[in-house]
């Protein structure tokens, strides 16, 4: 006979059989009747196995006395009283069984949401768990929340997280190859391709990378700034002022000895006109300083004073290329 999925009625009968067989007074006749029932349909044995698994997990059910079961669940009419304790226990078991599978389904159910912000914009969110998230310009995150998990993926851009405390339900942010696990704190994550920077404002997090294969990770606390560059094997940890973290919320982008390519990528999340590095060997040049998102053009045209490059506008873009002599400068160059 082909196996069938047990229905609710079959599960209730299986619960009744489980209770009868658990009775120390059960005899060979009870066992024979149970075997006959399991032979009637393959779904019967499957249902009984599910009930047995549930009983094992619950553990406490065996300690419930017949008196309590009768008092709470058994009818008081005198007829057929000899089987009512087991009927009551079976009813309890069936209700627990239904509740367990419903609870398990609820635990496995995941709610997914995608949030995004536009170029040169900011978006503030309050997630279902009460956590607050601020998205910087051109940022996209995906949340996957279930009964016991809070997962967030930062696909691109920068986000500041103020996490609602819940030790039983860790808050985990994935940014490229980096995973940040938190219980309740505040921190900023910036992702530029596979480069990731984490700045801690409050509390602590545990950081893991998907390259080394280690499972332990390491802790970062308030005042730490952790940088991950896929071109280097180790994290770079420096100190920062917690009050200055996520300065982009006050229209300031802060860079600390970072490649021009990274600086430009983050500038482009706020610039009306895309900035492009024309000569590839300019990309590794490093920059330290502050760029105001409301004065990007002023910063761009002051950049040749600190780096050996020129800035020009062409086709609606701002191009960065090798510095040239004054005589070679194009008429439209500033």
Residue 75 pLDDT level (bands cut at 50, 70, 90)? very low
The 10s digit of each residue's pLDDT in 183-222 is: 789 999 999 999 999 999 999 999 998 776 567 789 999 9
Three-state SS at 169:
coil
Lowest mean pLDDT segment, chosen from 109-113, 136-140, 154-158, 271-275: 109-113
**CA pair distance 50, 215, nearest whole angstrom:** 34
* pLDDT at residue 81 is higher than 60: no
Boundaries of every domain in the chain: 8-108, 110-249, 251-334
pLDDT at residue 133 is higher than 90 = yes
pLDDT of residue 94: 55
Q: Does residue 162 surpass a pLDDT of 80?
A: yes
Q: Which residue has the tokens 């029932």?
A: 37
pLDDT of 32 reads: 79
Q: What is the CATH number of domain 251-334?
A: 3.55.50.30
Split at pLDDT 50, 70, 90, the class of 103 is low
pLDDT of 83 above 50: no
d(C-alpha 273, C-alpha 297), whole Å:
9
Global model pTM greater than 0.85: no
Residue 151 CA to residue 173 CA, distance in Å, equals 6
Note every long-range contact of 237-244, with CB atoms under 8 Å and residues 24 or more positions apart, other chains counting. 240/199, 242/200, 242/201, 242/202
In this predicted structure, what is the pLDDT of residue 327? 38
Give the Å distances, CA to CA, from 83 to 10, 78, 269.
Answer: 19, 11, 73
The proportion of the chain whose per-residue pLDDT surpasses 90, expressed as a percent, equals 54
More confident residue, 275 or 41: 275
Whether the predicted pLDDT of 90 surpasses 70: no
* Cβ density class 303-332: b for 16+ within 10 Å, e for less: beeeeebbbbbeeeebbbeeeeeeeeeeee
Q: What is the mean pLDDT of residues 149-173?
A: 94
Which stretches of the chain are assigned E, i.e. beta strand? 111-116, 123-126, 132-135, 140-145, 150-162, 171-175, 178-182, 186-192, 195-202, 204-209, 218-221, 224-228, 236-239, 252-259, 275-277, 286-292, 309-314, 317-322
Instruction: Give 11's pLDDT tier (boundaries 50, 70, 90).
Output: confident
Q: How does residue 139 score in pLDDT terms, banded at 50, 70 and 90?
A: very high
Residues 154 and 309: their CA atoms lie apart, in Å, by 32
Q: Residue 228, Cβ neighbours under 10 Å: how many?
A: 21
Strand partners, 287: 258
Question: Is the pLDDT higher at 334 or at 303?
Answer: 303
> What architecture is the 110-249 domain classified under in CATH?
Sandwich (2.60)
Q: What is the mean pLDDT of residues 57-79?
A: 42
Is residue 66 very low, low, confident or very high in pLDDT (cuts 50, 70, 90)? very low
Tokens of 83: 């089987």
């Amino acid at each position: 006979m082909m196996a069938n999925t047990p229905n609710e009625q079959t599960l209730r009968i299986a619960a009744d059989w489980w209770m009868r067989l658990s009775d120390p007074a059960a005899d060979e006749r009870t066992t024979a009747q149970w075997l006959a029932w399991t032979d009637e349909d393959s779904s019967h044995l499957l249902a009984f196995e599910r009930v047995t698994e549930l009983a094992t997990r619950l553990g406490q059910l065996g300690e419930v006395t017949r008196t309590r079961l009768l008092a709470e669940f058994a009818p008081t009419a005198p007829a057929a009283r000899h089987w009512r304790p087991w009927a009551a226990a079976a009813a309890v078991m069936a209700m627990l069984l239904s509740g367990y599978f419903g609870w398990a389904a609820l635990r496995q159910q995941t709610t997914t949401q995608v949030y995004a912000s536009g170029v040169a914009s900011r978006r503030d969110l309050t997630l279902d768990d009460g956590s607050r998230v601020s998205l910087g310009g051109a940022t996209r995150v995906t949340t996957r929340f279930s009964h016991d998990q809070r997962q967030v993926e930062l696909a691109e851009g920068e986000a500041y997280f103020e996490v609602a405390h819940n030790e039983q339900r860790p808050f985990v942010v994935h940014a490229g190859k980096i995973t940040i696990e938190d219980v309740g704190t505040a921190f900023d994550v910036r992702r530029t391709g596979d480069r990731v920077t984490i700045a801690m404002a409050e509390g602590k997090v545990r950081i893991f990378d998907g390259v080394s294969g280690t499972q332990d990770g390491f802790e970062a606390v308030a005042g730490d700034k952790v940088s991950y560059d896929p071109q280097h094997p180790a994290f770079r940890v420096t100190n920062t002022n917690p009050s200055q973290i996520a300065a982009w919320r006050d229209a300031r982008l802060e860079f600390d000895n970072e490649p021009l390519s990274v600086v430009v990528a983050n500038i482009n999340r706020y610039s009306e006109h895309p900035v492009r590095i024309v000569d590839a060997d300019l990309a590794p040049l490093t920059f330290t300083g502050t760029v105001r998102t409301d004065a990007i053009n002023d910063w761009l045209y002051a950049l040749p004073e600190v780096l050996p490059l020129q800035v020009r506008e062409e086709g609606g873009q701002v191009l960065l290329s090798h510095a040239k002599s004054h005589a070679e400068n194009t008429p439209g160059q500033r």
